[in-house]
Amino acid sequence: MRFKKSTISAIIILVGLATIVVMSGLNFLMPQNTQTDVDNYMNKIFLSTKDDVKIAADLYEVENPAGWLVLVHMMPATKESWTELAKNFQNAGYENLAIDLRGHGESDGGPDGYKSFADSQHQKSILDLEAAANYLIKERQATSDKIIFIGASIGANLSLQYISEHSEFKTAVLLSPGLNYRGIKTESLAKNLRAGQKVFFVSSRDDGENAEENQKLYQSVPAGVEKEIKIYEAAGHGTTILENEQELKNLILEFLGVK
């Protein structure tokens, strides 16, 4: 039996249309791995400090968060050193704001302006933490008592300084704080903590005298302040501890009250 050319063409068109419909249905059922899906866990923003320094930050948003974390890196790291922790804590219900301190990363003076900073310039980085806290309160409806500072090395010293000088902020997790980083001295700051605040010291014995310094800071914290300390044997310094001791993220969550 012979078919007319017009009939054959019509059959081909119908088969083609049917194929498109079937494939469209399959595409609808399959997960769409678009660029937006890949990047939707984080938004890049910029903050301004009271001394007019532009601070770059990564915001890991959460709807109705249990709390808000300000993540403060060590030198010479950047906000990206917190990416894994931020994703983990985002999944646990915490909104995260990881900042580039002035002179680092994408902030003013970055990526390596910090190398020529005098100690007094490093000390002004406390204003970067202030800008982060103000942003969370004004733009993300955070309350000061639910803003938690997590810092590494000099970022730990700055985090301790901030809650010590602003008692309405209650909690800090400190990875490898030192007694004196760039003139940011911490023993008096630890002694100035108040009842109702809480602090978690983390260090490692392979990090010079840092473990001993953390023991001293821990002992300096006055009665009425909730405090914990964890000292590893060979975990390194600052955020390197998070890489080498995977349990630490869970310990931090437990410290924050997540079971």
- Give the start-end residues of each E strand in 112-204: 147-152, 171-175, 180-181, 184-185, 198-204
pLDDT tens column, 140-156? 999 999 999 999 999 99
pLDDT band at 3 (very low <50, low <70, confident <90, very high): very low
Q: Which of 256, 198, 192, 195 is nearest to 226 (CA)?
A: 198
Structural domain harbouring 8: 1-30
Residue 100 neighbours by CB under 8 Å, 6+ apart? 55, 56, 57, 73, 78, 79, 106, 107, 110
Greatest CA separation found in the chain?
Answer: 99
Q: Residue 186: its pLDDT value, please?
A: 98
Q: Are residues 239 and 148 in the same domain?
A: yes
> What is the average per-residue pLDDT within 24-46?
50
Q: Residue 23: its pLDDT value, please?
A: 43
Q: Are residues 220 and 97 in the same domain?
A: yes
> What is the average per-residue pLDDT within 4-9?
50
Q: C-alpha 65: how far from its chain's center?
A: 14
Q: Which of 179, 166, 210 is nearest to 70 (CA)?
A: 166
Q: Are residues 2 and 65 in the same domain?
A: no
Give dist(CA 84, CA 79) in Å, integer. Answer: 11
The domain that holds 247 is classified in CATH as 3.40.50.1820
Q: Which of 160, 211, 170, 213 is nearest to 190 (CA)?
A: 160
Q: Are residues 22 and 146 in the same domain?
A: no
Q: Are residues 62 and 181 in the same domain?
A: yes
- Please check whether residue 67 is in contact with residue 52, taking contact to mean a CB–CB distance below 8 angstroms: no
If DSSP codes are grouped into helix, strand and coil, which group holds residue 46?
A: strand
Query: What does each C-alpha distance from 146 to 118, 135, 183 come to in angstroms?
Result: 33, 14, 28
Q: Are residues 54 and 134 in the same domain?
A: yes
Q: Are residues 50 and 98 in the same domain?
A: yes
Q: Are residues 46 and 22 in the same domain?
A: no
More confident site: 19 or 87: 87
Which string of b and e fits 38-61 if b means at least 16 CB within 10 Å?
eeebbeeeebebeeebbbbbbbbe
Q: Are residues 66 and 9 in the same domain?
A: no
Q: Which of 237, 244, 100 is nearest to 181 (CA)?
A: 237
Supply the mean pLDDT for the chain: 89
pLDDT band at 28 (very low <50, low <70, confident <90, very high): very low
Q: Are residues 53 and 142 in the same domain?
A: yes
pLDDT greater than 90 at residue 19: no
The pTM score is: 0.84
